[in-house]
Copies of this chain bind each other. A is one copy, B any other.
């Protein structure tokens, strides 16, 4: 065991996240960096022998992960504790100190319900479990939701500040653990050819879609939670705004975590709040009604378990935003998210402007003057040959569309695609997001975790959108499950700006 070996302590150790994501990720880390994990300790309220805990986990694992877990299993333990009960935490403190690695680094993972977050942090602090001494670091990974609006997020951050230094807090958004998301940094700042184009002079519009086919699913309490939350806060506030930050940020001066996170926050701070007048046209919200997905009839949102029959919560959002920086000027950032759409995918599509002079592909029956007049009047749109598609999931890759001459005598240009596929290039699936993020937390690298000010900046904008919806009385439209949402969202594209890209 090396000096860097650490203990991983999972509160909510018997829960779904722990079994489905964290344990496989830890087993993979143990193979990737042997000696890094001294022990893994699952915490739950009820007592349970280590052997039973190990057996439970093994039973849940996919066959291809079991082998890796077998090696880790002897270092996996179970200890009972109740974060609301000080004496049980005192007992836990002594128990962890006796388990391997507890005297060096220790990573707490709070895989708990939101309402247990505050008592857990307070309890850990009061019991002396987060006090750092010398090499014995203590870090706490926390899961979203990080509040439900700016006020609650601020309160949460102030609470956390009382007990933990910001450098001890690792707020996880698993989207940031995806290779393609991280690659946005490399793509933009390792290559010299994209950055000169990456601004309002050359980019006309950026659109992003996070489309899901699922509805509420069968998770206990999921319907109720979602009905209280809605798509804007459940998906846009975190995952989508993270994508916006990475796409729109200024180049960092180094890869220092604080530098990168500061540049990301800059974007969120500059994200324009739609004014109430604009909201009616530029802030579409909707809810799915009964329909058909993948050939199966599915219920409408209001009929899902836990959802109020008169719910006005949105399951679909389409917003036209802007980023008030010199770089982005008035370039629209169109954000779309919905549940029960026809296809599951996440992508960012960058539309480049047309060349300043149109040499090719004028309609044959128009002379130069008639052509220009038609363009000015909006009766005709010029071809926009250059589109960059950054695919995040399910297939990860990059596509650049450009115009190429069609074979034959005429100078007729047709679209062609330069294509890059992540799996094809590397012959492997990208590593699981949790594996990457847990390893970063063990290494003490917070780059891919959210900073308090980042969360607050995101909430400030989300609150403004919600307030705009209310002030402008933006209706919650309806769309049948299995369709691309309300047609009103198509109007977010103005004039010749194009249309939604459906993966």
Binding site for B on A (CB under 8 A): 32, 179, 182-183, 185-187, 189-197, 201-202, 251-255, 352-357, 359-361, 385-386, 398, 400, 402-409, 411, 413, 416-420, 422, 425-426, 428, 430-431, 436, 439-440, 443
Give chain B residues whose Cβ lies under 8 Å from the Cβ of A420.
404, 416-419
A252 with B425: CB separation less than 8 A: no
Give chain B residues whose Cβ lies under 8 Å from the Cβ of A405.
179, 182-183, 185-187
Say which residue of B253, B359, B439 sits within 8 Å of A254 (CB atoms). Answer: B359
A406 with B419: CB separation less than 8 A: no
The closest CB in chain B to the CB of A204 belongs to B192
Give chain B residues whose Cβ lies under 8 Å from the Cβ of A253.
357
B404 with A187: CB separation less than 8 A: yes
B202 with A193: CB separation less than 8 A: yes
Bound complex: CA A182 to CA B404 (Å): 10
The closest CB in chain B to the CB of A443 belongs to B409
B187 with A402: CB separation less than 8 A: yes
Bound complex: CA A404 to CA B186 (Å): 6
Give chain B residues whose Cβ lies under 8 Å from the Cβ of A428.
407
Bound complex: CA A131 to CA B187 (Å): 61
A416 with B425: CB separation less than 8 A: yes
A402 with B197: CB separation less than 8 A: no
> In angstroms, how far is the closest chain B Cβ from the Cβ of A487?
30
Cβ-closest 7 pairs across A and B: A418-B418, A190-B403, A186-B405, A183-B405, A192-B355, A193-B386, A190-B413
Give chain B residues whose Cβ lies under 8 Å from the Cβ of A417.
420
B195 with A355: CB separation less than 8 A: yes
Give chain B residues whose Cβ lies under 8 Å from the Cβ of A436.
409
Q: Contacts A196-B202, A417-B420 known; A186 to B255 CB distance under 8 Å? A: no
A404 with B425: CB separation less than 8 A: yes
> In angstroms, how far is the closest chain B Cβ from the Cβ of A428?
6
